[in-house]
């Protein structure tokens, strides 16, 4: 049966990853330590190395199991951990692939036992075969896609490893020997002799790795063309130099990129790096061979975005600013106008989309989408936001509550929303179910709104809530809600402080109606270090005014304003809009924008207010 890796190999060159050991060494791991043991004690560090190579463009990554046979591990008193070390090494690579979302092949790395040229070592062929069998079975259990037998200097030992592995699996196999500068193996076998010895081995790809740099590797590849199988080249980054007590490899990424082109012209089909190579080397080679690699229909449309994300990720710092269009407008000093639209209760979004389009024409900056407000079932806020952004072209802010989701679901939905382009979130705890259509429904509340802001901040730093990498940092703009007229103002002040410390980029208030209420809130809290959007809820009638004041928590409509609404009679809607406009004109210099909440689906009220505000600004 054809294998996906072999099918892919027929389509064009495959870019492999670079060094693992020297990268871990560069990160401070002592060279005397068993690097393979890190699969057990520091799996996150191993996964991070894989993730960096994937981000750099590698389509094939090798597990951190090169020395994972029992003979090598015995030198670290780990001979009894062969299964665990290899299994966990395969899992770390697979998890890095899953986090990245890229179509990457995971190759189980198998190196020599190290016994071939050690004087006084007596062991049997069966013992060596048994060691390779145990390692192969553990890698298979871990779920590798293929096997790479690398850095073998003895063809006979390579033959034992390959035939043993073939007896227990049918995965594709790559066999790589290591050569010296005179193009012979450590046993003195030249390239013609190597090809003769490899002829009968069930290998799908043959090649070389380690020991030599790109220049000598090109000579090796030239000699191996007659082997009749696809070739793999993974050279070192030159010879190591001891600098200030550390071994450094001096071949540059640009130098590797030049030789990647030469390998391609020669017909080499798998190109990567060995000791001393880094994600920067792989990235340079990715660009060098890009024109020769196939475009996959599933990913072709995203190529520009992926390249941009990789460039942003390499050498970047965690994204703490939430650089969405909304945030950029606020930082630039624009008076932002946002309007809240509730998703439909059914499956037809036409009315909401039409309202969003009309509001866009009047100069609204973004649309807020409620998350089943008042605990009543409505279309998903994320789905509605995607529809508005795709069909109307207007940025959105989703309300996201912790009421209905546990920690796992919260993070899954936020990662999905970000992938769909929804990147402004107001973090809310949510109304209790007993207030809505399903009073017997169970609320979750694993975290509150402060905890949700912490989750969003961690996603912006590239990790989930537990510190596991998510491959690329998100760039969420995080909004915090505040109720300036809350009965317990001391508690509300403390919670707002915690939300800002947790990483909120802006504050959005519940509706206010008087300058006195705003001044008192700002005075009690002190200077707010992030932008503030003021909540505006235009009253529609005298009855509406009374309802808001007496029955909606967090909203106070002063008696004089309620009396104005009563006196307005049949013109109450216009009076309610006038009250809102008067209020905004008085406080415009104190806030960074407004957050309009039209009642009863009357989007035209918000549009008229926006029109006046934009005209006043002009």
Question: What pLDDT is stored for residue 299 in this prediction?
Answer: 38
Question: What pLDDT is stored for residue 515 in this prediction?
Answer: 92
Domain boundaries, the chain: 4-312, 325-539+575-617
439: buried, middle or exposed (CB in 10 Å: 19+, 13-18, 0-12)?
A: exposed
Q: How far apart are CA 106 and CA 99, in angstroms?
A: 13
- Length of the chain, in residues: 618
pLDDT in tens, 3-31: 899 999 999 999 999 999 878 877 888 87
Q: How far apart are CA 468 and CA 342, in angstroms?
A: 34
Task: State the CATH architecture for 325-539+575-617.
Answer: Alpha-Beta Barrel (3.20)
**Residue in the block written with tokens 């992938």:** 419
Question: What pLDDT is stored for residue 375 in this prediction?
Answer: 61
Which CATH number does the domain 4-312 belong to among 3.20.20.330, 3.40.50.300, 3.40.50.720, 3.40.50.1700?
3.20.20.330
| Host H or E run for residue 451 | helix 449-460
Question: What pLDDT is stored for residue 374 in this prediction?
Answer: 64
Question: What pLDDT is stored for residue 297 in this prediction?
Answer: 41
Question: What pLDDT is stored for residue 294 in this prediction?
Answer: 72
Question: What pLDDT is stored for residue 298 in this prediction?
Answer: 37
Average pLDDT score, the chain: 87
Question: What pLDDT is stored for residue 414 in this prediction?
Answer: 95
Identify the CA nearest to 310 among candidates 16, 58, 95, 46.
58
177 φ, ψ (degrees, to nearest 5):
-100, 165
HSE (side-chain half, CA atoms, 13 Å) at 578: 10
Q: Would you tell me how many other CB atoms lie within 10 Å of the CB of residue 549?
A: 17
Q: How far is CA 218 from CA 13, 19, 129, 222, 484, in A?
A: 16, 19, 32, 6, 71
Question: What pLDDT is stored for residue 306 in this prediction?
Answer: 37
Question: What pLDDT is stored for residue 438 in this prediction?
Answer: 53
The gap between the terminal CA atoms of the chain, to the nearest Å, is: 69
Question: What pLDDT is stored for residue 300 in this prediction?
Answer: 35
- Cβ(80)–Cβ(131) under 8 Å? no
pLDDT in tens, 468-510: 888 789 999 999 999 998 888 899 999 999 999 999 999 999 9
Question: What pLDDT is stored for residue 119 in this prediction?
Answer: 58
Q: Would you tell me how many other CB atoms lie within 10 Å of the CB of residue 228?
A: 10
Residue partners of 402: CB distance under 8 A and separation at least 6? 410, 428, 429, 430, 444, 445, 446, 447, 448, 449, 451, 452
> What is the C-alpha R_g of the chain?
31
Question: What pLDDT is stored for residue 246 in this prediction?
Answer: 47
Q: What is the DSSP string of 160-217?
A: HHHHHHHHH----EEEEE---TTSB-TT--BHHHHHHHHTTS--SEEEEESSS-HHHH
Instruction: Name residues of the chain where pLDDT drops below 50.
Output: 242-247, 297-322, 618
């Amino acid at each position: 049966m054809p294998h996906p890796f072999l099918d892919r190999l027929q389509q064009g060159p495959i870019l492999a990853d670079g060094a693992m050991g020297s990268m871990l060494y560069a990160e401070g791991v002592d060279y005397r330590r068993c690097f393979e043991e890190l699969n057990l004690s520091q799996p996150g560090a191993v996964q991070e190395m894989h993730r960096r190579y994937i981000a750099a463009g590698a389509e094939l990554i090798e597990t951190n199991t090169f020395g994972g046979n029992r003979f090598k591990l015995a030198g670290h008193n780990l001979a009894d951990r062969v299964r665990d070390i290899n299994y966990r090494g395969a899992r770390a690579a697979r998890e890095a692939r899953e986090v990245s979302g890229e179509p990457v092949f995971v190759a189980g790395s198998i190196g020599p036992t190290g016994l071939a040229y050690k004087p006084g070592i007596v062991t049997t062929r069966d013992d060596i075969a048994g060691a390779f069998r145990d390692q192969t079975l553990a890698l298979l259990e871990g779920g590798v896609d293929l096997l790479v037998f690398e850095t073998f200097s003895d063809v006979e030992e390579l033959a034992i490893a390959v035939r043993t592995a073939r007896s227990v699996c049918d995965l594709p196999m790559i066999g790589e020997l290591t050569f010296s500068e005179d193009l012979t193996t450590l046993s003195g076998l030249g390239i013609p002799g190597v090809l003769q010895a490899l002829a009968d081995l069930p290998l799908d790809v043959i090649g070389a790795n380690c020991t030599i740099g790109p220049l000598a590797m090109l000579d090796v590849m030239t000699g191996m063309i007659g082997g009749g199988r696809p070739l793999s080249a993974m050279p070192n980054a030159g010879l190591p130099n001891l600098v200030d007590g550390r071994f450094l490899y001096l071949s540059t990424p640009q130098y590797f990129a030049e030789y990647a082109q030469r390998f391609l012209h020669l017909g080499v089909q798998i190109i990567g790096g060995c000791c001393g190579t880094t994600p920067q080397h792989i990235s340079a080679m990715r660009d060098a061979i890009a024109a020769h690699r196939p475009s996959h229909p599933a990913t072709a449309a995203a190529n520009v975005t992926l390249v941009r994300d990789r460039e942003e990720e390499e050498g970047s710092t965690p994204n703490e600013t939430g650089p969405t269009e909304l945030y950029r407008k606020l930082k630039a000093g624009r008076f932002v106008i946002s309007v809240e639209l509730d998703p439909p209760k059914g499956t037809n979004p036409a009315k909401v989309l039409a309202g969003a389009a009309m509001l866009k024409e009047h100069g609204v900056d973004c649309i807020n989408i409620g998350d089943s407000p008042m605990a009543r079932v409505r279309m998903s806020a994320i789905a509605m936001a995607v529809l508005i952004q795709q069909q109307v072209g207007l940025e959105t802010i989703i309300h996201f509550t912790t009421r209905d989701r546990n920690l796992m679901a919260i993070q899954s939905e936020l990662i999905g929303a970000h992938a769909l382009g929804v990147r402004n979130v107001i973090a809310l705890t949510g109304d209790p179910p007993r207030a809505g259509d399903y009073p017997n429904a169970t609320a979750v509340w694993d975290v509150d709104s402060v905890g949700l802001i912490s989750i969003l901040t961690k996603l912006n730093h590239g990790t989930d809530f537990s510190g596991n990498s998510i491959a690329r940092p998100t760039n969420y703009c995080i909004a915090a809600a505040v109720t300036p007229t809350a009965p317990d103002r001391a508690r509300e002040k403390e919670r707002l402080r915690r939300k800002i410390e947790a990483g909120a980029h802006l504050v959005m208030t519940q509706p206010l109606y008087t300058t006195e209420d705003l001044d008192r809130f700002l005075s009690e809290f002190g200077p707010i270090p992030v932008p503030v959007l003021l909540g505006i809820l235009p009253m529609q009638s005298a009855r509406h005014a009374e309802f808001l004041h007496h029955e909606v928590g967090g909203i106070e409509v002063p008696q004089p304003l309620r009396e104005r609404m009563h006196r307005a009679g049949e013109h109450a809607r216009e009076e309610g809009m006038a009250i809102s406009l008067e209020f905004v004109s008085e406080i415009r210099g104190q806030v960074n924008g407004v957050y309009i909440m039209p009642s009863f689906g009357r989007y035209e009220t918000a549009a008229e207010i926006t029109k006046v505000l934009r005209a006043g600004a002009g």
